[in-house]
Amino acid sequence: MIQRVRVFLAWGLAVVLSSGVDVWAEGIRAELKKKLPGQRKTQRDKLGLLVATMLHVRSANLVELASGLPRPTDRTDMRYQWISRFLANDLVSCDTVMEPFSREVLARVAQDGHPVTVIMDQTKASDRHQILMLGVRWGERALPVAWRVEETEGAIGFATQKTLLDAAAPWLPPDTKVILMGDRFYGTPDLIGWCKSRGWDYRLRLKGNLTAYLGRKKVTMASLALSEDRYF
């Protein structure tokens, strides 16, 4: 008897959670339709359902997503295949989907007239993949704006950094002052040159062994950091 009660309770909880995901998915689809009126309905329906499921399970792990996906099948492997096929669809462009949302966030951040702080960071997605993320500072948080995924074990190079920045820079309101912040992977002449060509300020951490010329004297960043001067 107790076992039956447990089964019915588990089934009832699953129904409630599934209906909650459906409600979220409907709201996400409505927002996508408003911001992306030209998006195909099938793509919008699948994307809305997948995003709602991710909010529910609070994970980007495909197995966990498959277990929480409210699809008319009891087989987790079939739901997993559904997710994999959708993610492999080249017609789904992350930049296209993110652009209207990112433009709105960037406009809100810039409306007070202060410089907009853009943060570039890299995080590990799996044993083989790294994510290069571009976010905007919102209070004490960084809201994702755009990203790129590469199959690499080390730092993602400037070529990918440039494609990411080139894609997101036009989303900023005109004449916006921008400060790019980044860790020591990004303190390179190429990236600094890109910022200067765009009129962006930058705060990029430099490697200690990076060399520069102070007048005619060749110095390292480590030696400059130990000096009492703050600007060079």
**Is residue 14 predicted with pLDDT exceeding 80?**
no
Query: Averaged over 90-116, what is the pLDDT?
Result: 94
pLDDT recorded at residue 86: 94
Q: Which carries the bigger pLDDT value, residue 153 or residue 133?
A: 133
Question: 201 and 104 share a domain?
Answer: yes
Query: Averaged over 204-227, what is the pLDDT?
Result: 82
Alpha helices, DSSP H only, in 36-129? Answer: 41-57, 62-68, 76-87, 94-110
pLDDT recorded at residue 119: 95
Q: Is residue 39 part of a domain?
A: yes
Question: 53 and 102 share a domain?
Answer: no
pLDDT band with cut points at 50, 70 and 90 for residue 6: very low
Question: 105 and 201 share a domain?
Answer: yes
What CATH code is carried by the domain that includes residue 203? 3.90.350.10
Q: Is residue 64 part of a domain?
A: yes
CB atoms within 10 A of CB 86: 15
**Is residue 16 predicted with pLDDT exceeding 70?**
no
Question: 129 and 43 share a domain?
Answer: no
pLDDT recorded at residue 158: 93
pLDDT tens for each residue of 39-58: 999 999 999 999 999 999 98
DSSP strand pairing (116-124 vs 178-182): parallel
Q: Is residue 14 part of a domain?
A: yes
Query: Averaged over 92-115, what is the pLDDT?
Result: 94
Question: 77 and 105 share a domain?
Answer: no
Question: 44 and 108 share a domain?
Answer: no
Question: 42 and 147 share a domain?
Answer: no
**Is residue 228 predicted with pLDDT exceeding 60?**
yes
Q: Is residue 226 part of a domain?
A: no
157 lies in which domain range?
94-207
Composition of the chain by helix, strand, coil, percent to 5? 50, 20, 30
In one-letter notation, the amino acid at residue 148 is R
pLDDT tens for each residue of 123-151: 888 888 899 999 999 988 899 999 999 99
Question: 106 and 193 share a domain?
Answer: yes
Question: 82 and 127 share a domain?
Answer: no
- Count of domains in the chain? 2
pLDDT tens for each residue of 84-99: 999 999 899 999 999 9
Q: Is residue 213 part of a domain?
A: no
Q: Is residue 106 part of a domain?
A: yes
Q: Which carries the bigger pLDDT value, residue 81 or residue 184?
A: 81
Which segment of 72-76, 199-203, 214-218 scores lowest on mean pLDDT? 72-76
CB atoms within 10 A of CB 54: 18
Rounded to an integer, what distance in angstroms lies between the CA atom of residue 64 and that of residue 201? 41
Q: Is residue 216 part of a domain?
A: no
pLDDT recorded at residue 4: 38
Closest CA to 118 of 164, 204, 179: 179
**Is residue 8 predicted with pLDDT exceeding 80?**
no
